[in-house]
Structure formats: C-alpha cells, structure tokens
C-alpha cells in the first residue's frame, strides 16, 4: 500500500496557513444542517432497520442528478448516480473494476497523489503523463492505458483547465483504444472567470467517461460524500464492487444532504461562498501580481479554491517554505506532486480556510522576508 499524501502537514497549523484541500467550516450554515439532520433522523426512526440501496439514498441521487444537469450540463437520470464515500472511494471502485494487476493506468504529472496511490494498490502499472498549459498531453499517453484519470476543470495541482481541443483529443484517443476515462471534477463549483467548458462527460458519445464529484470542497472533507456517474456499461460492476466492499454509506448523512440540496440551502451556501472565495482569490492575486511579482509567477486558474504559482530564481521551495514557517506562515511546495516530470519550483496556495485579511497580512509579511530568502 503506497502512501497517498506526500505533504507533511504540521501537527499544529501555522496561524497564517495556505494549506490546500481545506474549507472554511466557520462559514458553513450548521443551524440549517442541524435541521436537515433532524429531518433525516425522524425519517430514519420511522423506517425498518434494514440495509438500503447500495447506490445510495434515492433523494440524494435525484438531488445530485439535478445539480449536475443545471450546474455542469451533465445529463443523467437519478438512478445513473452512485453515491460514494468521497471522490477517493469512487476512484477506488473504478480502479477495482477496470484494472487487473499489470495493466496500465495513466494520470497527470504533476497530479493527485491519492489517485496514484489508489491505482498502484490494485497492482496496476501507473504511468505519469506530462501536462502543459492545456492540460494532459494526450499524445504522450501510453498506448496500452486501460484507465486515464484527469482533472479537467482545475488541473490538480497547477490549476489550468483542460482545453476543449484536448478534451476532444482525449475522447477520440480513448474511443480508439477502448480505454475508460475518470473525469475528476473536484473544485468545479467555484468558477471566477471565463466561460465554463463542457465536461468530458457531456462530450462523451461513446460511453467512456466516469464522472466523479465530491462535496469535500463545497461542504467539508469530513462529510465523506462523493459520487460517480459511470458509463452505463460500468454501472452494474460498480454496484457489485460496492456491495462486496462496504455495502452502502451512512444513510443519515445522505438523507440530510438530500434535504440540504433539495431545499435550496446548498445553492445558497455555494452562492455565499463564491463571493467569499472570489475576494480571497482577488487578494492573493493582487499581492502576487503586485509587490510579490519579483518572486512569483501565478498560474491564474479559472476555478477552484487553490492556485499555484511558480517561483522565480533564485528562490527555492525548501528555503521559502522554511523561512515562511519561521514567520508563522504555512506555505506548501509543488515538488511532492511530481512523478517523472521535472518539478519547476512553485507553491500551491489554498485559500479555502484562510480569511481575506489573513491572506493580506501573510503576504505583506512574506514580502518583508523574501528579500532575505531570495538572496
Ligand atoms: C484532485 C482532487 N480530487 C478529489 C478531491 C476530494 O477527494 P474526497 O472527495 O475523497 O475528499 C480532492 C481533495 O483535495 C482533490 O484535490
């Protein structure tokens, strides 16, 4: 079993922390959530103590299907949706049903380490494929890849979207070889500029794409709810895999989440958080394009709650992260997300859980210490 997280998280986060993958729980409407949980509890108290549908609670699948149609132009029936324990669970189930030991899985480099770990754990040969400004370089895919994992909305960790040409090229590539694509659409909810691009799933006419989503970025990661809308041919095998692994997830959480979505509270929460994250992103970019421009070259993403920035010479990740930590600022390098690709020094700035005034304070402080680090 390979390690899935290359980052060493400090046991006590620094006061000004840019850790990625975190959301701001202080802004989550727990009073509304409590009502949804109570509603789910009352319904559960009235139902028989029995196992439920392996694919998840029906009303949650309906809520997700409607959400995807309206927000992502992904068309599905409610019963196409399979609820999972986060996106990671969906990746694991997909790997179990598509990969035999020794078969090839391909993913982006730099890329998402938990996906790499999960495919490796099946005994597959996992091949990292380089990315450029348009996303995964399709011409560099290994010919025999059975499964290709991509993050088209917001490449993990660099942040650029996959271009439409690449999306079409990838679909054509996969169709020729009968390969399956996992489209991990994490972080698609917060779009700040540009026209939304068609998800691979909605361009897919040949039934190749398993669309994976998560509530880890919109609610919080501990919720452990994600979903997959697989190609029709993989629906049955996925349910079998699910049944023999954990049967089904926590129905109380699923029912509460369904109520939260169907009552309009999820949409309200997303709208509010969009404004808050937009302000954080703007503050971050103001600094990176302003007094920090001598040291950083941001890769401006169109969506998501983190952004990456390259370091200008002579700054190194190690020196910068160390100096920042000594000044109570948590910064995180890009190097650990690389496999074969030669890492260009850079940082990943998560702004899911750092307030706008703390971003301002941290980056003003950083500008003060950088002249000594960069020398
Ligand atoms: C690329 C990517 N996919 C998915 C997720 C969410 O995973 P999960 O739903 O298992 O929490 C993350 C979280 O950071 C991510 O970075």
pLDDT tens-digit readout, 152-193:
999 999 999 999 999 999 999 999 999 999 999 988 889 999
**Best of 19, 95, 153, 156 to mutate for ligand 1, by most ligand atoms within 8 A of CB?**
156
Closest ligand 1 atom to residue 225 Cα is 9
Closest ligand 1 atom to residue 86 Cα is 9
Q: SS3 string of the chain?
A: CCCCCCCCCCCCCCCEECCCCCCCHHHCCHHHHHHHHHHHHHHHHHCCCCCCCCCCCHHHHHHHHHHHHHHHCCCCCHHHCEEECHHHHHHHHHHHHHCCCCCEEEEEECCCHHHHHHHHHCCCEEEEEEEECCEECHHHCCCCEEEEEECCCCCCCCCCCCCHHHHHHHHHHHHHHCCEEEEECCCCCCECCCCCCCCHHHHCCCCCEEEEEECCCCCCHHHCCEEEECCHHHHHHHHHHHHHHCCCCCHHHHHHHHHHHHCCHHHHHHHHHHHHHHHHHHHHHHHHHCCCCCCEEEECCCECCEEEEEECCCCCHHHHHHHHHHCCEECCECHHHCCCCCCCCEEEEECCCCCHHHHHHHHHHHHHHHHHHCC
How much distance in Å is there from the Cα of 88 to the middle of ligand 1?
A: 7
Ligand 1 pocket, CB under 6 A: 21, 86-88, 112, 151, 156, 184, 186, 214, 216, 221, 226
Split at pLDDT 50, 70, 90, the class of 9 is confident
Closest ligand 1 atom to residue 221 Cα is 11
* pLDDT at residue 21, rounded to an integer: 85
CATH fold group of domain 31-263: 3.40.640
Residue nearest to atom 7 of ligand 1 (CA): 87
Residue nearest to atom 2 of ligand 1 (CA): 186
How much distance in Å is there from the Cα of 45 to the middle of ligand 1?
A: 32
Are domains 16-27+267-373 and 31-263 of this chain identical in fold?
Answer: no
Split at pLDDT 50, 70, 90, the class of 7 is low
How much distance in Å is there from the Cα of 327 to the middle of ligand 1?
A: 29
Closest ligand 1 atom to residue 88 Cα is 10
Has residue 264 got a pLDDT over 90?
yes
Has residue 128 got a pLDDT over 80?
yes
* pLDDT at residue 341, rounded to an integer: 85
16-27+267-373 in CATH: which number? 3.90.1150.10
| Mean pLDDT within 272-277 | 96
Per domain, the residue ranges of the chain are 16-27+267-373, 31-263
Residue nearest to atom 14 of ligand 1 (CA): 21
**Best of 117, 131, 184 to mutate for ligand 1, by most ligand atoms within 8 A of CB?**
184
pLDDT digits over 41-56, tens only?
A: 999 999 999 999 999 9
Closest ligand 1 atom to residue 90 Cα is 10
* pLDDT at residue 375, rounded to an integer: 58
How much distance in Å is there from the Cα of 186 to the middle of ligand 1?
A: 6
Closest ligand 1 atom to residue 91 Cα is 10
């Amino acid at each position: 079993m390979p390690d899935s997280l290359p980052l060493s998280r400090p046991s006590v986060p620094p006061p000004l922390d840019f850790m990625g993958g975190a959301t701001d729980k202080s802004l989550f409407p727990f009073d509304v959530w409590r009502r949804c949980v109570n509603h789910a509890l009352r319904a559960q108290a009235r139902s028989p103590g029995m196992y439920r549908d392996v694919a998840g609670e029906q009303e949650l699948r309906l809520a997700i299907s409607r959400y995807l149609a309206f927000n992502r132009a992904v068309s599905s029936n409610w019963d196409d949706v399979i609820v999972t324990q986060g996106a990671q669970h969906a990746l694991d189930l997909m790997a179990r049903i598509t990969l035999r030991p020794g078969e090839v899985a391909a993913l982006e480099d730099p890329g998402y380490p938990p996906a790499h770990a999960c495919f490796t754990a099946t005994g597959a040969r996992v091949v990292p494929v380089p990315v450029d400004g348009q996303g995964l370089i399709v011409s560099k895919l290994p010919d025999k890849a059975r499964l290709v994992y991509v993050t088209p909305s917001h490449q993990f960790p660099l942040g650029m979207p996959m271009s439409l040409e690449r999306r079409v090229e990838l679909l054509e590539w996969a169709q020729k070889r009968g390969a399956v694509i996992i489209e991990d659409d994490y972080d698609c909810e917060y779009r700040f500029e540009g026209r939304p691009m068609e998800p691979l799933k909605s361009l897919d006419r040949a039934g190749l794409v398993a669309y994976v989503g998560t509530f880890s970025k919109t609610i919080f990661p501990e919720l452990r709810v994600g979903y997959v809308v697989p190609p029709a041919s993989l629906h049955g095998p996925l349910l079998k895999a699910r049944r023999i692994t954990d049967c089904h997830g926590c129905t109380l959480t699923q029912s509460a989440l369904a109520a939260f979505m169907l009552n309009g509270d999820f949409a309200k929460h997303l709208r509010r958080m969009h404004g808050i994250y937009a302000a954080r992103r703007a503050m971050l970019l103001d600094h990176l394009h302003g007094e920090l421009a001598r040291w950083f070259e941001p890769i401006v993403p169109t969506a998501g709650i983190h952004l990456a920035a390259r370091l200008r010479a002579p700054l190194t990740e190690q020196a910068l992260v160390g100096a920042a930590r000594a000044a109570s600022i948590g910064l995180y390098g890009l190097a650990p997300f690389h496999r074969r690709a030669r890492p260009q020094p850079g940082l990943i700035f998560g702004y899911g859980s750092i307030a706008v005034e703390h971003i301002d304070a941290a980056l003003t402080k950083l500008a003060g210490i950088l002249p000594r680090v960069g020398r």
